[in-house]
A and B are shown apart, each in its own frame.
Chain A
Amino acid sequence: MVLSPNPGSFRDPAGFIFEHDQVIYRAVADFYRADYDLLMKSGLYADLTSPGWLIQHQEILPPPVNMPQGYNLVLKPEMVPFISYPYEWSFSQLKSAALLTLDIQARAMEYGLTLKDASAFNVTWNKGRPVFLDTLSFTALKDNQPWVAYGQFCSHFLAPLTLMSARDLRLQALTRENLPGISLDLASKLLPRRSWFNLGSLLHIHLHARSRQKHASTDQKATATLTKKSLMNLVAGLRMAVEALKFPHTATEWGDYYNDTNYTPQQFQEKKDVISDWIKQFNPKTVCDLGANDGTFSRLAEESASLIIAADIDPIAVELNYRRCQQDNNEVMLPLLQDLTQPSPSLGWQLKERAGLFSRLKADLGLALALVHHLAITNNTPLPKIGEMLAQAAPVWIVEFPDKADSQVQRLLLNREDIFPNYTTTGFEQALEAMFLIVKIHHITNSYRTLYLVHRKNEASAITRSPDD
């Protein structure tokens, strides 16, 4: 059996991730063993895993495969069904992940350990909460040693959050373009002048950037020393700086996202009832909702699903969804920022470190409501290509199609030439039928919108088309 390390797991020599029989394992290097034992025996592991901050693991003896020399311990971490990345989170999700990292660092120091890295990719979302994945990030805290991960924390968390809060939410895209973190001199340049009068930005971004530039070409080893109390102060200061960052849009701007639809309350309820009914027939465990807005319709799948990936292009809608999830203690919803016209790509070393969206997104059932007209008209995507995209992610879909008479479609066509002769109900059904069998059709009463229940062809031989109205 040949052991192949995960292509995203090579930077830290303390260990590596590998997959065997569809199970994820983590190999621990012998030289790192003392730090791992300290994590386990100091009580820190128990203290971090009981509130769900750190992923739980089992030690696997003997290892499931022959291990390379120097690796005698194998861990089996709890499986996370969908790994999401920092550039796919809303502002408050990224902020929660930052606070989790700082809280873990603060707790680790109490036990005489410290985080040796503070990458945002160490955190992902599981059961509605951020969880720290890298069990091998902990190392013994040495006397008077500065926090080696401080610079990384600022580049991975503080810089994007401050840019999003003080300049523009869309600057989050910089985290996708800069996997090692946003350079602090770039963040400093992009931030508004008023950020110089904010203690957190002043210290951790502006002065930090200048200190890095000043010492970049020095031959001298860093001589800074910090007592444990100073380190505690540093982490407390970072926490206050992160806590103080506010979402840059006010509640009035995003009061009720669904007020902006053309459904009457009766039609809205009819749509909900039909979708609920159709979802129930399949009892899906994993659901993806593409164009989920604030997750109103995604929530219809909560009864059966253990994971609902609710993706939307609008960072305000994703934020709103996340806030609702927090209020409801929602353990199944994962709000996700995603532009389907340019979904998360494969990134990093040999394009294998971070997986693209469609290699991760495998659901039992998908929802695509109020989505097709945006893709077809705003992005000029031919309808068959939309069917191909859906078929990649799930075998069963509930899709909404608004025809050209619909006011939302009219609005998209208002100032442009109508170059969409195939954008008709018939054209859409033909496009779907290339990949799917249409199982059910429901026309929303007195509207120009139709709901389809479709099943991927190769898995749908037993199902026949049966319009229910």
Chain B
Amino acid sequence: MKLRLLQGALMTKIFLFAVLVPLVVATPAYAYLDPGTGSMIIQALAAGAVGAAIFWRNIVNKAKQVFSRRGSSANISDQNSDLNAQ
């Protein structure tokens, strides 16, 4: 169930890939590595991406709920409780 977020949302992946990659421009790896700054900055992006993915999945689920004839509501509450459990 948790994997569906990643597996199901190919569009999200493509979107994130296209948007996020240019945000962080690669530089040559000659500098002595600072353990902190880069990690601090990227995790805001990473947290945002997960937030966006969860938001996106909720929209998809809502749409499914509206358009499907039966059975999907149970599925959605399943997924949500699963997500909360994390």
Interface string of A369-396 (1 = CB under 8 A from B): 0000000000000000000000000000
Interface residues on A, range: 35 or more
Stretch of B46-54, B58-66, B67-75 at the chain-chain interface: B46-54
Contact B46 A234 (CB under 8 A): yes
Q: How far apart are A64's CB and chain B's nearest CB, in angstroms?
A: 36
Contact B6 A213 (CB under 8 A): no
Q: How far apart are A144's CB and chain B's nearest CB, in angstroms?
A: 10
Q: How far, in whole Å, are A196 and B34 apart by their CA atoms in the complex?
A: 23
Of A210, A234, A237, which contacts B27 at CB under 8 A?
A210
Contact A150 B32 (CB under 8 A): no
Contact B34 A218 (CB under 8 A): yes
Taking A196-B17, A216-B33 as contacts, is the C-beta distance between A203 and B38 under 8 angstroms? no
A20 at the interface (CB under 8 A from B): no
Contact A234 B3 (CB under 8 A): no
Q: How far, in whole Å, are A147 and B28 apart by their CA atoms in the complex?
A: 26
Q: How far, in whole Å, are A31 and B3 apart by their CA atoms in the complex?
A: 42
Contact B38 A216 (CB under 8 A): yes
Q: How far apart are A146's CB and chain B's nearest CB, in angstroms?
A: 5
| Beta-carbon nearest neighbor of B86 in chain A | A236
Q: How far apart are A165's CB and chain B's nearest CB, in angstroms?
A: 14
Contacts of B27 in A (CB 8 A): 210, 213-214
Q: How far apart are A198's CB and chain B's nearest CB, in angstroms?
A: 8
Q: A residues 199-234 with Cβ under 8 Å of B?
A: 199-200, 202-204, 207-208, 210-218, 220-222, 224-226, 229-231, 233-234
Taking A211-B39, A217-B32 as contacts, is the C-beta distance between A199 and B13 under 8 angstroms? yes
A183 at the interface (CB under 8 A from B): yes
Contacts of B32 in A (CB 8 A): 216-217
Of A152, A203, A230, A240, which contacts B20 at CB under 8 A?
A203
Q: How far apart are A205's CB and chain B's nearest CB, in angstroms?
A: 10
Taking A185-B29, A197-B17 as contacts, is the C-beta distance between A204 and B34 under 8 angstroms? no
Contact B16 A225 (CB under 8 A): no
Contacts of B21 in A (CB 8 A): 202, 207
Contacts of B45 in A (CB 8 A): 203, 207, 211
Contact B34 A216 (CB under 8 A): yes
Contacts of A229 in B (CB 8 A): 51
Contact B3 A243 (CB under 8 A): yes
Taking A207-B20, A224-B40, A226-B44 as contacts, is the C-beta distance between A212 and B34 under 8 angstroms? yes
Q: A148-B40, A199-B49 given. 18 additional CB < 8 A pairs?
A: A106-B86, A146-B43, A150-B43, A151-B39, A183-B33, A196-B17, A199-B53, A202-B21, A204-B46, A208-B38, A210-B25, A211-B39, A214-B27, A216-B31, A224-B41, A230-B47, A233-B51, A236-B83
